[in-house]
Amino acid sequence: MTKKLFAEFLGTFWLVFGGCGAAVIAAAFPELGIGFVGVSLAFGLTVLTMAYTVGHISGGHFNPAVSLGLAVGGRFSWSELAPYWAAQVIGAFTAAGLLFVIASGLDGWSPGGFASNGFGELSPGGYSMTSALLVEIVLTAVFLVVILGSTSDKAPPGFAPIAIGLALTLIHLISIPVTNTSVNPARSTGVAFYAETGAVPQLWLFWVAPLVGAAIGALIWKVLLASDEE
């Protein structure tokens, strides 16, 4: 169990450090040309690389919503859910803290939103709470369908991390303007406490919506798509 939890800690650390790091550091300099497309790709690459690296140890969740969805889908033990969540959140906090220290080494730097998620005034595009709820629920649900489908017994072996990483990239391309993209409560929690924009009071949405979406996605797979396989 210790190895599983450390793998989840490390994977979530890399997701937040790599994905949010691209947003906080690289995307802060327009001359680098990374933009929100580069940030989207960074998040996808973190999951792809760590899924191949430690996925065989812990399952490569790196996300409390994914852990819940896999439990609902019958692919993960409910008894391990709380320890996985703890490891994921700690990994996210550790990455965010280290990223804060590194980024603050630039004279005149201010954390601002610090890659946090939000709606209303905290939405990059000014989208409403309803829009944020819907996009986070729908995209997390689809993410779980991709995860469950690409890791099913009848899927081509060895390609699941690629499908999952590309799905996360696409998810960011869709929803960065709406919520700055969460679909991951640990990722949202880790950076929110370093932001200067009041992200913490809105954290509830970025726990509720991904968890609800994950459960819906798992049920869609289990009831409508996997009945003849599992």
Say what the pTM is: 0.93
- For residue 105, being part of any structural domain is answered with yes
pLDDT at residue 230, as a whole number: 52
The answer to whether 71 and 81 are in contact (CB under 8 A) is yes
Maximal C-alpha separation, the chain: 59
- For residue 229, being part of any structural domain is answered with no
Full domain range(s) for residue 197 = 2-223
Helices (H) then strands (E): counts for the chain:
9, 0
- For residue 230, being part of any structural domain is answered with no
pLDDT at residue 227, as a whole number: 62
Looking at the structure of the chain, the number of domains it has is 1
- For residue 186, being part of any structural domain is answered with yes
- For residue 72, being part of any structural domain is answered with yes
CA dihedral 26, 210, 10, 84 (to 10 degrees): 170
Q: pLDDT tens-digit profile of 180-219? A: 999 999 999 999 999 998 899 999 999 999 999 999 999 9
Q: pLDDT tens-digit profile of 65-100? A: 999 999 999 999 999 999 999 999 999 999 999 999
Query: CA 117, CA 63: separation in Å to the nearest integer?
Result: 15
- For residue 216, being part of any structural domain is answered with yes
- For residue 228, being part of any structural domain is answered with no
Alpha helix segments (H runs only) across 104-159: 129-150
The answer for residues whose C-beta is within 8 angstroms of residue 94's C-beta and 6 or more apart is 9, 13, 190
- 117: which 2 tokens? 């998620």
- Domain with 120 in it: what CATH number? 1.20.1080.10
> Average pLDDT for residues 5-25, to the nearest whole number?
95
pLDDT at residue 154, as a whole number: 86
pLDDT higher than threshold 80 for residue 33: no
The answer to whether 207 and 132 are in contact (CB under 8 A) is no
* CA 21 distance to own-chain centroid: 14
Helix pair angle (160-179, 129-150), 10° resolution: 180
State the DSSP code for 70.
H
